[in-house]
């Protein structure tokens, strides 16, 4: 049994899973639109929360949050469940798939996913896949993973393992989500777009100065602390920390630069839909900021992997991050001001 649902790649796994679920119910939204409507852009740097012994930096909200936000926004009835009992979790999945013909999104751990390159298998529990079918004879599941270029299959044993991945950032407990019913008429998107832009601005710049880890403040905080990494931890440890930061920036569900570009694409689409031409200028601005993030990743890579005749320092990175934080702050302040005018 396999539900009639085509595969599509996406920059971010959760966008991809949501897009698949929505598509099944005839709602065709582009990936940037989903990301933008769910106000997915974020920044948080937590020096005291450790992943593999190094600070956690995230450029997006927690796994599962995007789905909750977008279904609420569009008036879609949906459920998210976690389980204590493994068999119960699989039984519920089977029931939804086979009896109710419902595609189901699952939050899984990367580590035991067999189709991932083996170098990518880290204990990171925030990957999203969409289960769309089951072969009863072989006990394998058909899965849409937006990071893969085609449909993939998972054996029941593997699926059980990844759904109940342990440790990492947080234990998974077989977390899964699905859509129960969609409204006959979707609400008008234009006011929702403006609302969600306003919300993203709020997430990024509303924090008072004494909360230094979240939003634009977080980037400034990282820019201050990165300058001292080499003195504080020694050369080797500092470069490992940097490598981890770049991996979070670029690899784990894309990241900093990638998400800035996705948001740029969203703003462009939003400009066409809402007719607010200024959003096009903002799209260009966030694209430029995304390019800065890429420059940051590039320079950082030259620190942990030195080339002849180049000598980038941690201070260079600090300067770059400071520029980024200033630009993002100005960007979200201006964006918020513009959007508010149209929201009246």
Partner 1 sequence: MKVEEVPQDLKYFEGTVVRDVDYAVDADGNYQMVVSDGWAPKNEALEVTLADIDEQCQEIFQRVKAGESSLLEYYAAKNLMDVELLSDYTGFSKRTIRKHFQSSNFAKLDDKTLEIYADVLRITVAELTTIPET
- Contact residues for partner 1, defined by CB under 8 A: 9-11, 31-32, 52, 111, 115-117, 119-120, 122-123, 145-150, 152, 166-168, 171, 239-240, 242-244, 246-247, 250-251, 254, 257-258, 261-262, 264-265, 268-269, 283-284, 287, 290-291, 294, 297-298, 300-301, 304-305
> Smallest distance, Å, CB 298 to partner 1?
5
Task: Return d(Cα 285, Cα 333) in angstroms, integer.
Answer: 13
Residue closer to partner 1, measured from CB, 102 or 283 = 283
Residue closer to partner 1, measured from CB, 20 or 76 = 20
> Smallest distance, Å, CB 75 to partner 1?
27
> Smallest distance, Å, CB 293 to partner 1?
10
Residue closer to partner 1, measured from CB, 128 or 147 = 147
∠ CA 227-229-234, nearest 5°, is 135
Task: Return d(Cα 109, Cα 96) in angstroms, integer.
Answer: 21
Residue closer to partner 1, measured from CB, 27 or 243 = 243
Task: Return d(Cα 83, Cα 92) in angstroms, integer.
Answer: 10
Residue closer to partner 1, measured from CB, 227 or 247 = 247
> Smallest distance, Å, CB 72 to partner 1?
25
- Residue 121 corresponds to which tokens in the numbers above? 């298998």
Task: Return d(Cα 27, Cα 21) in angstroms, integer.
Answer: 9
Residue closer to partner 1, measured from CB, 299 or 329 = 299
Cα 76 to Cα 18, 179, 184, 187, 266: the distances in Å are: 12, 7, 10, 10, 21
Q: Answer for the pair 262, 35: CB distance below 8 angstroms, yes or no.
A: yes
Residue closer to partner 1, measured from CB, 274 or 283 = 283
Half-sphere exposure for 162 (CA within 13 Å, toward CB): 27
> Smallest distance, Å, CB 11 to partner 1?
4
Task: Return d(Cα 245, Cα 215) in angstroms, integer.
Answer: 16
> Smallest distance, Å, CB 297 to partner 1?
5
For residue 173, what are the contacts with CB-CB under 8 A and spacing of at least 6? Answer: 82, 83, 84, 164
Residue closer to partner 1, measured from CB, 179 or 246 = 246
> Smallest distance, Å, CB 243 to partner 1?
4
Task: Return d(Cα 20, Cα 103) in angstroms, integer.
Answer: 8
92-99 CB contacts, 8 Å cutoff, 24+ apart: 92/176, 93/131, 93/176, 94/134, 96/178, 97/1, 97/3, 97/131, 97/132, 97/133, 97/134, 98/1, 98/134
- Burial label, 135 (beta-carbon count in 10 A; 0-12, 13-18, 19+): middle
> Smallest distance, Å, CB 83 to partner 1?
16
Short-list 192, 219, 196, CA closest to 330: 219
Q: Answer for the pair 178, 68: CB distance below 8 angstroms, yes or no.
A: no
Residues in the chain: 344
> Smallest distance, Å, CB 344 to partner 1?
29
Residue closer to partner 1, measured from CB, 217 or 239 = 239
């Amino acid at each position: 049994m396999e539900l009639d649902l085509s595969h599509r790649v996406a920059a971010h796994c959760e966008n991809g899973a949501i897009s698949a679920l929505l598509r099944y119910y005839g709602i065709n939204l582009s990936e940037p639109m989903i990301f933008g409507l769910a106000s997915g852009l974020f920044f948080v740097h937590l020096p005291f929360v450790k992943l593999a012994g190094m600070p956690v930096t995230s450029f997006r909200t927690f796994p599962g949050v995007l789905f909750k936000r977008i279904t609420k926004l569009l008036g879609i009835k949906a459920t998210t469940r976690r389980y204590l009992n493994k068999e119960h979790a699989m039984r519920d999945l089977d029931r939804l798939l086979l009896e109710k013909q419902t595609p189901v999104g699952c939050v899984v751990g990367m580590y035991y996913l067999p189709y991932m390159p083996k170098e990518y298998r880290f204990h990171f529990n925030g990957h999203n896949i969409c289960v769309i079918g089951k072969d009863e004879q072989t006990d394998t599941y058909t899965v849409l993973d937006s990071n893969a270029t085609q449909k993939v299959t998972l054996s029941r044993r593997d699926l059980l393992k990844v759904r109940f991945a342990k440790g990492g950032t947080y234990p998974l407990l077989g977390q899964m989500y699905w859509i129960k019913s969609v409204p006959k008429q979707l609400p008008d998107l234009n006011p929702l777009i403006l609302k969600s832009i306003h919300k993203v601005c709020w997430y990024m710049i509303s924090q008072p100065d004494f909360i230094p880890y979240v939003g634009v403040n977080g980037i400034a905080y990282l820019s201050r602390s990165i300058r001292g990494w080499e003195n504080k931890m020694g050369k080797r440890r500092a470069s490992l920390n940097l490598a981890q930061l770049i991996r979070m920036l670029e690899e784990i569900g894309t990241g900093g630069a990638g998400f800035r570009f996705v948001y740029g694409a969203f703003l462009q689409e939003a400009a066409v839909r809402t007719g607010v031409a200024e959003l096009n200028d903002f799209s260009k601005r966030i694209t430029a900021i995304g390019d800065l993030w890429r420059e940051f990743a590039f320079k950082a890579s030259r620190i942990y992997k030195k080339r002849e005749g180049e000598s980038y320092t941690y201070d260079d990175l600090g300067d770059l991050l400071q520029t980024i934080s200033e630009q993002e702050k100005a960007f979200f302040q201006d964006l918020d001001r513009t959007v508010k005018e149209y929201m009246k």
